[in-house]
A and B are shown apart, each in its own frame.
Chain A
Amino acid sequence: MRSAASGKGALAGGRAVYIAMLAPALCLLFLTVVPFLDGVYTSLTNEKLYAGVTRFIGFANYLKLAQNPTFWIALGNTLLYAGLATLIQIPLGLAVALLLDVPSKVQWFFRSTIALPLLIPPVVAGLMWKTMMQPQSGVLNWLLAQVGLPPFSWLSDPQTALVSIVLIDTWLFMPLAAIILLAGLQSISGEVLEAARIDGANAWQTIRHIKLQALKPYIVLVAMFRIPDALKSLEIIYATTRGGPLNATRTLHVMAYEEAYRWSSLGRAMAIVFILWILSYVFSTILLSLWRKEEMRFHGR
């Protein structure tokens, strides 16, 4: 009797635990899935903040985007920005991580200083660099002038604006790459490095054949953080060029932001945001599977 009763009690207690665990999970699901689906639905409407009546218009927003040359420019800029940022930041971060991995008395100082840009909000960084890149009064052109170089247009020339913003992005986020890669370097067993040294491997051979091999999953991890983040980048671009000059720095996120907050067109803005979400999702999924493969290959788990 006693055991049956306690069994029932345990069952009831177990159910309570399940319910207690299920409730927050459902809440979380509700708070993420419902707004997401609402956003997708909005992209299928002609919703404008100032217009009283909203109609379901199917894929009209998407079709209009496909016919809009600015959309294709923005898509190209988005991919270019994310590609350039990642391609510059990973090798640079790797170089910095290798330097920070060299034992030295001042290592702690450089390790803490390298992370400083990460503490600055992107909007602030954007405004700060905009001032420094100002063609007439900015410090960057003053520095160029000191070595006899002519002034550079930085953010105000369609040919150079996107690259200038990628430079700001690199200043801000390269430390993230460096810190992750440094963690990777420090996970390499000292015995392996010692064995390589005894076998006569020089520094370059150690980096190439041991460190870089061990870092592969970490490099993919950096790409996994940075690519979706760069695809969604908005603050730096809006603080510096607002998508201009012309459409030189107009990315999908800038375009969506302007549709929503300058022109009140929520339907069109959500269509752009949904396309951006698909892009981020595809890249994240590919990188996640690559990361798992690398982890499995190197660490056997």
Chain B
Amino acid sequence: MAFALMCSLAGLTVAPGPSWAEVNWKQAEGASLNLLLISHPFVDALKPMLADFTAKTGIKVTFEELAEQPGFEKLLADLSSKTGAYDVFMTSPLNNWQYASAGWLEPLDEFIANDKLTDPAEYDVKDFIPGILASGRWTLEPMKGLGEGKLWAMPINAESYQIAYRPSLMKKLGLEVPKTYADLLAMAPKLKTEGPDGPIHGLITRFDKYWDLPYLTFGTMLQSYGVEMVDASGKLQICSDASVKATEDFVKLIRTASPEGAGAFTWDQAMQGFASGQYVMSLNEANLFASVYEDPKQSKIADDVGYALTPLGPDGQRAAAAWVWSMSMNSASKQKDAAWLFLEWVTSKDVMVKMHLAGNMNPVRQSAWANPELAAKVESWGAEPGQYRKVTEEESAVAAVRFPPHPELTRMLDRWAEAVQKSYFDNGNVRENLCAAQEAVEQMLAE
């Protein structure tokens, strides 16, 4: 079920430049599309370019931009009512497992194969990093079939998880970036210092009671400890010995090196907390936060940030979670050809590169990673030239979506996250909390 999300990015060649000779881009002229966008650097990059799409196709585009939580709630209401208010929307594999099960998504393979709509040479679907593209495929069978079956989404960026740190503070504290979780646990009590604006705390990472904890950030640590939600025989591993050990270590790390309120930090608090210079290290957070850390307008640490691989687990194993933002087409859309032309345009080689240059990290096309302008943009990111890119590429090589596809996976993972948070707040012991969560997830699967 688990599959490598990203392939190695080194040594890739650049495909030829765009010509769009074979497709009549004006074939849906006069159509009007409505998009639902979730606030993200991708959207900031897209908005100024929408006029180019309208000029190229004669298709008007309107959009609504919402924060993640209200955005997905509004989308759920619209998709379930089947009104087709949004032709195209931002989504992810996790959401699509529910949307595709309900029949709310239009499969995209036929649009890619239709030569009136898509020039295969120009669009070059093989240029997408195979694992990332495959994360949008699913057979609709609960708990299996990920990466197979129909294609439900086109990727627009991907993220994995890594350490970000303050090189000057690590030097001041006489510490090296940790290679293993054992190293990190050992240095946790020393990870604190005084800054010009008050105390600088050790670690920050998200820790609220939501699915993204076991799926993405703490999930990265769990996977390095060898924990998967289900093993090869389909048995739940939420309260396995390895899971208990990883949770105990995680709780100990947070208790030792994080400040008041760490048990409720969300991803944006984690990102802004590190960017504001109040932490020595950001543990296993999204690597694309680097575009914020490196921007002096948004970050106090733009000239003092480094990146490192996630630590190795007890068996010397490194694993990382992966998240893919993508765009899908509403099956209730009344202008599917126009909607595909938009999807095709927005995920085309040159448009993707332009958006990456405007801050939408990380690329999902091999040609974008190989683009010299983009390479130059990220070259300065990190404590030494090329550090961000090197770390991201190495982390990407092990990053994977390791969770079984299921329409109610978020409910199950929320329950798992609750057990981790409960362990932090001292309610019962870790094994008891995790085993109670496993039992609850078993019941959810049985329903």
- By a beta-carbon cutoff of 8 Å, the part of chain A in contact with chain B is 49-52, 134-137, 151-158, 241-247, 261-264
Contacts and interface: CB of A to CB of B under 8 A. Distances in A.
Contacts of A135: 259-261
Interface string B99-111: 1011110000000
Interface of B: 73, 76-77, 80, 98-99, 101-104, 201, 208-210, 259-265, 269, 273, 276, 278, 407-408, 410-411, 414, 418, 421-422, 425, 427
A137 B269 CA distance: 11
A49 B408 CA distance: 11
29 contacts: A49-B80, A49-B102, A50-B104, A50-B407, A51-B102, A52-B102, A134-B269, A135-B259, A135-B261, A136-B259, A136-B260, A137-B276, A153-B261, A154-B261, A155-B261, A157-B260, A157-B261, A242-B210, A244-B209, A244-B264, A245-B263, A245-B421, A245-B425, A246-B418, A262-B73, A263-B410, A263-B411, A264-B76, A264-B98
Given A135-B261, A153-B261, 11 more contacts: A50-B80, A51-B407, A134-B269, A137-B276, A152-B260, A155-B264, A156-B260, A156-B264, A245-B209, A261-B77, A262-B411
Interface SS of A by simple majority: loop
Contacts of A264: 76, 80, 98
A69 to B, nearest CB: 10
B20 to A, nearest CB: 37
Nearest to B263: A245
A136 B421 contact: no
Contacts of A156: 260-265
Contacts of B407: 50-51
A158 B425 contact: yes
A39 to B, nearest CB: 16
Nearest to A259: B411
Nearest to A159: B425
Contacts of B425: 158, 245-246
B209 A246 contact: yes
Given A135-B259, A151-B260, A262 B410 contact: yes
Contacts of B263: 156-157, 245
Contacts of B408: 263
Contacts of A243: 209
Top 6 nearest A-B pairs (CB, nearest first) are A156-B261, A135-B261, A50-B102, A156-B264, A135-B260, A49-B80
B80 A153 contact: no
A16 B408 CA distance: 55
A136 B278 contact: yes
A275 B126 CA distance: 54
Given A49-B76, A136-B259, A153-B260, A246 B411 contact: no
Contacts of A245: 208-209, 263-264, 421, 425
B436 to A, nearest CB: 10
A241 B210 CA distance: 12
Instruction: Tell me which of A52, A151, A243, A262 has the highest count of chain B C-beta atoms within 10 A of its own C-beta.
Output: A262
Contacts of A157: 260-261, 263
